[in-house]
Structure 1
Amino acid sequence: MTTVVDTHCHLADAKFRDDVEAVIARASGAGVAQIISVGAIGPIDSDRLTVEIAEHHRNVFAVVGVHPHDARDCTPERIAQLRGLAASKKVVAIGESGLDFHYMHSPPQAQEAALRAQLALATELDLPIVIHCRDAERRIVEIARETGIPPRGGVIHCFTGDTNAAREFLALGLCISFSGIITFKNSASVREAASIVPDDRVMVETDAPYLAPEPYRGVRNEPAYVTRTLEMLAKLRRVDAASLGTQVIANAARLFRLPPPANTPARPA
């Protein structure tokens, strides 16, 4: 069986409220060796539940932060709360932070301030940063050059740019993660970028419960479906899916300092 890591999903999302245990079990059965679950969306409760889920499952890890949609809520108090949650050994990164100039749910100035604050927090805690970018590639690169990427590095999650943007992010030392978008017919520029990312910088994710890959598009996404995205990514890169899955596991382990995957199915610890 091909194995891989789902490097970005949202297990604390309300869409998983009634069956998160079954979702984790299905992922394990599909060959998903580890899951990185991200809080960030909405109030701090999302981050707290994300950490709780990770602490109860040996192959699940947590990321805590403030999504750019909620950047107006990224106060010093919220940063202090994130600092406290990050004391858990299961927290492996800060994020997803970043900029979303497509939806603009928070003003650009608030988004930029939140990004800078979380870059600083990741540096302080010696953690990598998980970055959300939507129609804001140039500004993220500018801010990253001004402030610096945390020494532990980071990843652009759910990459939606083109090859030029990919090269800019790679020049910053970042990894690039691809979601089910690469299975969509209208994703030519993202697919092209997927072929030029170096082996040691490429990752794959679901962003579940969002962005289900074909043939599941339109239904709730879940970590088990990351294998579909892996298969497409392998095709675009002209490599074997099993080998790519092994590479993604190695890349995630390096960036997030993950332990070797357990050989047994993910289950409550």
Structure 2
Amino acid sequence: MTTVVDTHCHLADAKFRGDLEAVIARASSAGVAQIISVGAIGPIENDRLTVAIAERHPNVFAAVGVHPHDARDCTPERIAQLRDLAASKKVVAIGESGLDFHYMHSPAEAQESSLRAHLALAAELDLPIVIHCRDAERGLVEIVRESGVPPRGGVIHCFTGDSNAAREFLALGLCISFSGIITFKNSASVREAASIVPDDRVMVETDAPYLAPEPYRGMRNEPAYVSRTLEILANLRRVDAAALGAQVIANAARLFRLPPPVKTPARPA
């Protein structure tokens, strides 16, 4: 079985309530060795729940932050709350933060200020940063270049840009993660970019419960489906899926400082 890490999903999302344990078990059965669950969306309670889930499951880890959609709520008090949550040994990153000029749920100035605060917090805590970027590549590159990438590095999650954007992110030293979007018919530019990212910078994710890959599009996404995205990514890069899965595991372990996966007993049929 091909093994891989789902480097970005949202296990605290309400769409998983009621069958979260089954979702995590299905991921393990599908070869997902570890999961990075990201809080960030909505109130601080979502981050707290994300950390609690990670603390209950040996192969689940957490990232905490304020999504750019909610950047208007990124006050100094909120940053202090994130700092406290990051004291958990299961918190391996800050984020997701970044810029989303597609939906503009928060003003651009609030998003930019929030991103700078997250970059500073990640540097302070010696953690990598998880970055969201949509229709804002130029502005994001300028802010990250000016503020500096945290010493532990970072990743552009759910990449939606083109090859030129990928090259700019790579020049900053960031990793790039690809989601189920690469399986969509209208994602030619993203697929082209997926073929140029160096082996030691590529990652894969679900962003579950969002963005289910084909043939699950329109359904609730879940970490088990990352294997489908890995398969398509391997085809685009003309490599063996198992080898790419091993590379993603190594990249995630390096960036997030993950321990080796814990072997969990098989669930009874």
Q: State if a TM-score over 0.5 links the two structures.
A: yes
Q: Does 1:32 align with 2:32?
A: yes
Q: Does 1:243 align with 2:263?
A: no
- Counterparts of 2:242 and 2:25 in 1: how far apart (Å)? 21
Which residue number in structure 1 is paired with residue 46 of structure 2? Answer: 46
Could you list the per-position Cα deviations for residues 110-138 of structure 1 after superposition, in whole angstroms to 9, with x for gaps in the alignment? 00000000000000000000000000000
Which residue number in structure 1 is paired with residue 13 of structure 2? Answer: 13
Which residue number in structure 2 is paired with residue 143 of structure 1? Answer: 143
- Counterparts of 1:93 and 1:168 in 2: how far apart (Å)? 22
- CA shift, 1:265, in A, is 5.0
- CA shift, 1:262, in A, is 1.7
Question: Structure 1: where are the runs of 5+ without partners?
Answer: none
Paired residues of 1:8 and 1:35 also in contact (CA < 8 A): yes
**Alignment size in residue pairs:** 267
Question: Structure 2: where are the runs of 5+ without partners?
Answer: none
Which residue number in structure 2 is paired with residue 3 of structure 1? Answer: 3
- CA shift, 1:261, in A, is 1.1
Which residue number in structure 2 is paired with residue 259 of structure 1? Answer: 259
Q: Does 1:208 align with 2:184?
A: no
Which residue number in structure 1 is paired with residue 90 of structure 2? Answer: 90
Which residue number in structure 1 is paired with residue 126 of structure 2? Answer: 126
Specify whether residues 229 and 119 from structure 1 end up closer, same or farther in structure 2 by C-alpha distance, changes over 3 A only.
same
Specify whether residues 38 and 233 from structure 1 end up closer, same or farther in structure 2 by C-alpha distance, changes over 3 A only.
same
- Counterparts of 1:266 and 1:234 in 2: how far apart (Å)? 28
Paired residues of 1:57 and 1:266 also in contact (CA < 8 A): no
| Greater RCO (Cα-Cα under 8 Å, separation 6 or more) | 1
Paired residues of 1:94 and 1:128 also in contact (CA < 8 A): yes
- CA shift, 1:161, in A, is 0.2
Which residue number in structure 1 is paired with residue 104 of structure 2? Answer: 104
- CA shift, 1:264, in A, is 2.3
Which residue number in structure 2 is paired with residue 55 of structure 1? Answer: 55
Could you list the per-position Cα deviations for residues 52-105 of structure 1 after superposition, in whole angstroms to 9, with x for gaps in the alignment? 000000000000000000000000000000000000000000000000000000
Q: Does 1:169 align with 2:206?
A: no
1:93 partner SS: strand
1:169 partner SS: helix
- Counterparts of 1:264 and 1:185 in 2: how far apart (Å)? 37
Could you list the per-position Cα deviations for residues 2-31 of structure 1 after superposition, in whole angstroms to 9, with x for gaps in the alignment? 000000000000000111110000000000
State, as a whole percentage, how many aligned pairs show the same letter.
89
- Counterparts of 1:136 and 1:48 in 2: how far apart (Å)? 29
- Counterparts of 1:239 and 1:39 in 2: how far apart (Å)? 32
Q: Runs (4+) of structure 1 moved beyond 6 Å? A: none
- Counterparts of 2:4 and 2:266 in 1: how far apart (Å)? 13
- CA shift, 1:263, in A, is 2.6
1:258 partner SS: coil
Specify whether residues 133 and 211 from structure 1 end up closer, same or farther in structure 2 by C-alpha distance, changes over 3 A only.
same
The one-letter amino acid of 1:155's match is V
Paired residues of 1:162 and 1:190 also in contact (CA < 8 A): yes
The one-letter amino acid of 1:34's match is Q
- Counterparts of 1:108 and 1:63 in 2: how far apart (Å)? 23
The one-letter amino acid of 2:216's match is Y
Q: TM-score, normalised to structure 1's length?
A: 0.98
Q: TM-score, normalised to structure 2's length?
A: 0.98
